[in-house]
Amino acid sequence: MRPLVPVAEAQSRLFAMASRVPAETVPLRSAMGRWTAEDILARRTQPATDLSAMDGYAIRYADLPGPWTVIGESAAGRPFTGLVGAGQATRIFTGAAMPAGADTVLVQEEAARDGDRLMLDGEGPAFEGRNTRRKGLDFATGTRLIAAGDRLTPARIAVAATGGHGTLSVGRRLRVAVAATGDELVPPGSTSDPVPLPESNGIMLAAMLADLPVDIIDLGILPDRLDTLRDAFAGVDADLLVTTGGASVGDHDLVRPAIEAAGGTIDFWRIALRPGKPMMAGTLGRTMLLGLPGNPVSAFVTAILFVRPVVAHMLGARDPLPQTTHALLGEDLPPNQSRTDYMRAELRDGRAYASTIQDSSMLLTLARSSCLIVRDGDAPAARAGDSAEILVIA
């Protein structure tokens, strides 16, 4: 058998294979969570003119300590069009344009007014320009507001709106087909008979992609039959096909021959990873294939390390890999074997405690875990208190 592919090499080979989705223009209301296809530049300056930051009176700082004559009013959207001269002031409100001639705002809590006559009633503004926002304080026309390949967040959508955009160019939504394989599987909740195994990988994968701009095409549960699998795979109309199960070497592990029978090619198979060794990657026409192992924890770990990053890469992300961090180990760990290990673990009081049994079928252990401890292949034994690389999962 060929040597196992290291995790990082598998990731870079996948990114090289996976093409990016084309761009489309969407209204801001549909842009949340999408990746920008180009730099977004400001089409206007913000603020477009000097504004008041407070409710009060627009004055000339040089006229302090007053008194002043109030000659008009400037409200947000309804500016004062005249000129504020020596000894003059206008009423002004938050967000209103500063009238020509005025440079400072006296807040109304520090002012006393009698008809047109305005007097200082407090300390007054400490410096020229106090309580105003200068033109261009936030950004000027042409400023890059969002870089190409950034993911759109609520704040980025708001800054795009303020920058004069009503639509944005983003990567289109990705079509991901998901197929579970296995004669032992039934849909979740479909029977009270304890013998058949409820399908969980497909539903878990859909949940793991739920926060991404992805449309799931659910191929359901496919039987362990070469002709059925071949026909189902050949009919897929998606950017990415993710299968689970049937990836290993048993007589009923048919995903690989079925992809080949459908006219596809397997680019690589078997990763230096635990759990998740039998994962395969390939292409079927214009559809990319990720064949995940059937063991539920193996499917989860390969989805974190390969499916989500490939999906993010295809959607236009610049930095699609999951971010790891560090934690102190709660207990000693034995030396690792040759595959990179992602150990299910709980984070308690900032320390990571690995589960006693690391079996790739155990979903309850996974569901109780908040992180995976990453152990390099052939890593030596580690001691409680050592720093370890972890991947937070919950």
Ligand X SMILES: Nc1nc2c(c(=O)[nH]1)N[C@H]1C(S)=C(S)[C@@H](COP(=O)(O)OP(=O)(O)OC[C@H]3O[C@@H](n4cnc5c(N)ncnc54)[C@H](O)[C@@H]3O)O[C@H]1N2
- Cβ neighbors of 210 (< 8 A, separation 6 or more) are none
Entry field: residues in the chain = 394
**End-to-end distance of the chain based on CA atoms, in angstroms?**
36
**Residue 118 touches which of ligand X, ligand MOO, none (CB < 5 to 8 A by kind)?**
none
- Of 126, 210, 249, 357, the one binding ligand X (CB under 6 A) is 249
Least distance (Å) between residue 335 CB and ligand X: 20
Q: Is 36 in the site for ligand MOO (CB under 6 A)?
A: no
Task: List helix spans (H) across 197-285.
Answer: 201-208, 226-234, 255-261
Residue 278, Cβ density class (10 Å: 0-12 exposed, 13-18 middle, ≥19 buried):
buried
When binding is defined by CB under 6 A, the residue of 277, 313, 344, 375 that contacts ligand MOO is: 277
Indicate the residue among 244 and 295 with the shorter CB distance to ligand MOO. 295
Per CB under 6 A, the list member of 88, 243, 298, 336 interacting with ligand MOO is 298
249-265: burial string, b at 16+ Cβ within 10 Å, e else: eeeebbbbebbebbebe
Q: Tell me the residue number closest to ligand X, measured at CB.
A: 294
For residue 199, the partner it binds in ligand MOO, ligand X, none, with Cβ less than 5 to 8 A by kind, is: ligand X
CB of 378 to ligand MOO, least distance (A): 17
Q: What residues between 169 and 188 interact with ligand X by CB under 6 A?
A: 180, 182, 184-185
202 lies in the site for ligand X, by CB under 6 A: yes
Question: How far is it, in rounded angstroms, from Cα 228 to Cα 320?
Answer: 34
Q: Whose Cβ is closer to ligand X: residue 220's or residue 334's?
A: 220
Scanning 48-56, 116-124, 193-201, 211-219 for contacts with ligand X by CB under 6 A, the matching segment is 193-201
The rounded distance, in Å, linking the Cα atoms of 239 and 176 is 6
Q: Work out whether 200 is an interface residue with ligand X (CB under 6 A).
A: yes
Site for ligand X in 257-296 (CB under 6 A): 275, 277-278, 293-296
**Residue 334 identity (one-letter amino acid):** P
**Pairing mode of beta strands 174-181, 340-348:** unpaired
Contact residue for ligand MOO among 360, 366, 373, 374 (CB under 6 A): 360
184 binds, among ligand MOO, ligand X, none (CB under 5 to 8 A by kind): ligand X
What are phi and psi for residue 173, nearest 5 degrees? Answer: -65, 150
Q: How many residues bind ligand X (CB under 6 A)?
A: 26
Span from 101-109, 147-155, 198-206, 319-327 in contact with ligand X (CB under 6 A): 198-206
| Residue placing its CB nearer to ligand X in the complex, 170 or 240 | 240
Among 10, 247, 303, 382, indicate the residue that binds ligand X (CB under 6 A). Answer: 247
Radius of gyration of the chain (CA): 31
Which of ligand MOO, ligand X, none does residue 265 bind to, with CB < 5 to 8 Å depending on kind? none
Identify which of residues 96 and 301 has a Cβ nearer to ligand MOO in the complex.
301
**Positions that interact with ligand X (CB under 6 A):** 180, 182, 184-185, 197, 199-202, 244-249, 253, 275, 277-278, 293-296, 298, 360-361
